[in-house]
Amino acid sequence: MATILKTDELSEVRKDADRLNAKTHTADELMEGITALLNEQMPKYNWVGFYMLEPGANPPMLALGPYRGAMTPHTRIPLNQGVCGAAASSGKTVVVDDVKKDPRYLACSLETKSEIVVPVFVNGAVAGELDIDSHFPAAFGAEDRALIEYIAQLVGKRMEKEQTASASSRAGK
């Protein structure tokens, strides 16, 4: 029963994300809306935020974007640090069931027990990531991961469209 409810809940949130994608005007607005949606609708998603690669930064650096949840001391994260750095540098989703056991983990809140970080790809390259922390251990199962990867993809495609539109408007000038 619990599994059915969880599946329904996740599919509702997926539809809400699609609606947000249709009604927002920019990728930034979409990201802002996604953080609110996930933080408000998913009881175990206690901190939800985007980190985006700073354009032209050398060495590459992740900068905190829209987020919901407690203030974090980690507003900029180099790619060789943290679970966030690991996801961005490998281009792979990282799920940490118990943050205490992961030496890469950079603490944001003492209450955090588990974390998932999903890269956002734009034209095949990592442009940033969606980071979610939970006050519950092992909060991110296969269904959560599928939902969060779907949403990260929505954002990546949206950014792609925006970049294509601004490139063609520059070319037209």
Please give the residue ranges that form the binding site for ligand SME (CB under 6 A): 47, 72, 74, 77, 82-84, 105-106, 108, 115, 131, 133
Q: Which residue is nearest to ligand SME (CB)?
A: 82
Alpha carbon 154 to its chain centroid, in Å, reads 11
Nearer to ligand SME, 90 or 123 (CB): 90
Minimum Å gap between C-beta 6 and ligand SME is 24
Minimum Å gap between C-beta 109 and ligand SME is 7
d(CA 163, CA 1): 44
Minimum Å gap between C-beta 67 and ligand SME is 7
Minimum Å gap between C-beta 149 and ligand SME is 18
Minimum Å gap between C-beta 5 and ligand SME is 28
d(CA 166, CA 169): 5
Residue listed under structure tokens 């792979």: 92
